[in-house]
Amino acid sequence: MSKKGKILVAMSGGIDSSLAAVILHEEGYEVIGITMKTWDYASSGGNSTHGKKKETGCCSLDSINDARNIAVSLNFPHFILDIREEFGDYVIDYFTDEYMLGRTPNPCVLCNTHIKWDALLKRADLLDCEWIATGHYANVREENSRFVLSKGADENKDQSYALWGISQQSLSRTKFPLGHLTKTKIREMATEKGFIDLVNKSESYEICFIPDNDYRSFLKRRVPNWESKVMKGDYVMEDGTKVGEHDGYPFYTVGQRKGLGIALGFPVFVVEIQKDANRVVLAPLDRLSRNGMWVNKLNMVKYASLTEINYPSITKIRYNDDGTSAKISQIDDKMNVEFDSPVFAIAPGQAAVFYENDDVIGGGWIESSYLKA
């Protein structure tokens, strides 16, 4: 047993999780690597290699082998954990259900908080590991009897937005070895250590179970009796005027402009999806901004709860959002958010995360938005 104890490291086969394992190994932890198979890559649209191009999906055989090769080179154990059943039951059902409700889901956040961390901690307990670790660019520290999640040092790679839902119990056992590093530094370290294949490996940004990025086809395959549930409907303007026909409301999201298949002589965007009426509401750009929203199903991180009304924060409504200053007020399990300046295309179903400087105050799911005079 090493002096620093045993740590279970989630390894996808990519450069970030691989270097996380390398760093912890060099720091003196007894590392055990684990690769979680969440989806059957071969049946989800991923291309077979046929001896040519390597698959890069997080669940592909090549990625699993890449993770195992790192473990072998550093002489630590590596396991494969098959969580396809629970992943499918929870994440994919949620993904399809949200689109069928006219909302825009964020499956990666849900997977992190309800599948991957739970699976890691269960296996960590079985392997007598005190800690778990991932290759996310984020940080965690203990302060005032809370485990505080904060942004990674690399602003361009920070992943705290996708981790807001992790419980205090889970954060108490989590380490992020890359939190204080930049992506450039990680690439330099991999090069110095001779892991050239990792440096040259392309990174995957698509949803793991939709590697071709065609979520429309995925929904058609996934939802039973699709043709009877999703039919063409009306495009309407905000005043109810019909201006065209859409292909089915689950195919659209608030803020969308491309792929509408309609020409009105001026740019229009999706401003609302009316599931029950099977209507997609369109509007000019200047009608897409809102200055308030309601967020539900909160997970509070830095503080157990907010008792102060109009607490100042920087609030992000999507992963690549820079964030907007806002006043937040917690009311039971909901957060009322009033932005200091209008925010473009607030999509119900997406995650909202509240920051105090670099620290995550908490987060939740966008329920609705409003325009306050």
- Catalytic residue positions, numbered: 111, 208
CA distance 334 to 316: 16
Provide DSSP, 50-77.
TTSSPP-STTSHHHHHHHHHHHHHHT--
Strand order in the sheet with 131-133: 78-82, 30-37, 6-10, 131-133, 174-175
* Cα–Cα distance for residue pair 338/371, rounded to 1 Å: 10
Q: Residue holding tokens 């992506």?
A: 183
Distance (Å) of CA 131 to CA 8, 177, 236: 6, 12, 53
41: three-class secondary structure by DSSP: helix
Nearest to 39 by CA among 132, 123, 108: 108
CA distance 265 to 200: 45
Candidates 246, 279, 277; CA nearest to 260 is 246
| Amino acid letter, residue 101 | L
Q: The tokens of 289 are what?
A: 């901004």
- For residue 116, report the phi and psi dihedrals to the nearest 5 degrees: -65, -45
Rg (CA), the chain: 22
Output the six-digit token pair for 201: 């490996």
Tokens of 262: 């309609």
Distance, CA of 46 to CA of 54 (rounded, Å)? 11
Q: Which two tokens stand for residue 55?
A: 């698959």
